[in-house]
Amino acid sequence: MKSSDHTENERTAEPSARRPVAAVLASSPAAERNKQPILDVLETSLPRAGLVLEIASGTGQHVVHFAAGLPALEWQPSEVDAVLVAALGARLDTEALANVRSPLVLDALRLPWPVSSADAIVCINMIHIAPWSAAEGLFRGAGAALSGRGPLVLYGPFKRSGAHTAPSNGAFDASLRARNPAWGIRDIDAVRILAEREGFELERCTAMPANNFALVFRRVAR
């Protein structure tokens, strides 16, 4: 991973309430680079039709690309506070995609979520720039919202068997923890154990560009 790729993983590195809307609307070069590789994973993981809830939609570049590439699906973007939701709404208004709903305020930690039911959930670059309790809330909320074998797809940097997959990921992890000891790159095994506790199984782990991974969890039918 080049140092410039670290910006891909810093979508929520600063408290969103203090970020101007114009900055949120600015396009992320990393999102432009990774949106197609992520879509390639989604094409083989998501249902053919239904509602996809995106947690932590960021600039909105991903959901716009995914909605255009998978038009049979309906997309519900969300962000953690009203400032980011307003920025998302401004971007989506310019795109005018019929299969994208108006964005919602959704904090993964606050249950119940404002979306009571979804056919799939996507979360990109969130759980390393948040306390571990956010990952717990993500799986708990997803378990309540998903039905059948609905997937939860995560994307971002992860450790494998306790080790970083690149030296630059280790440096990025250290910088995150220096800013907030509760943040940090998570280990795939730790996320898998959490998922199993909340009724999910890890179906697929795909290595992605810039030393990231896409993890596809499948809800165990009940």
Question: What's the token pair of residue 76?
Answer: 């519900």
Model confidence at 4: pLDDT above 80: no
The CATH number given to 3-219 is 3.40.50.150
- For 183-204, how does the pLDDT look when each residue is reduced to its tens digit (9 = 90+)? 999 999 999 999 999 999 999 9
| pLDDT given for residue 19 in this prediction | 38
- For 89-134, how does the pLDDT look when each residue is reduced to its tens digit (9 = 90+)? 988 988 889 999 999 999 999 999 999 999 999 999 999 999 999 9
Question: What's the token pair of residue 132?
Answer: 């571990």
| pLDDT given for residue 205 in this prediction | 98
Phi then psi dihedrals of residue 129, to 5 deg = -110, 55
Name the amino acid, one letter, at 173: D
| pLDDT given for residue 108 in this prediction | 96
DSSP per residue over 29-91, as a string?
Answer: HHHHHHHHHHHHHHHTTS-SSEEEEEES-TTSHHHHHHHHH-TTEEEE-EESSHHHHHHHHHH
Q: What is the pTM of this model?
A: 0.89
Model confidence at 87: pLDDT above 70: yes
CA angle 147, 121, 92 (to 5 degrees): 130
Select the more confidently predicted residue: 18 or 76. Answer: 76
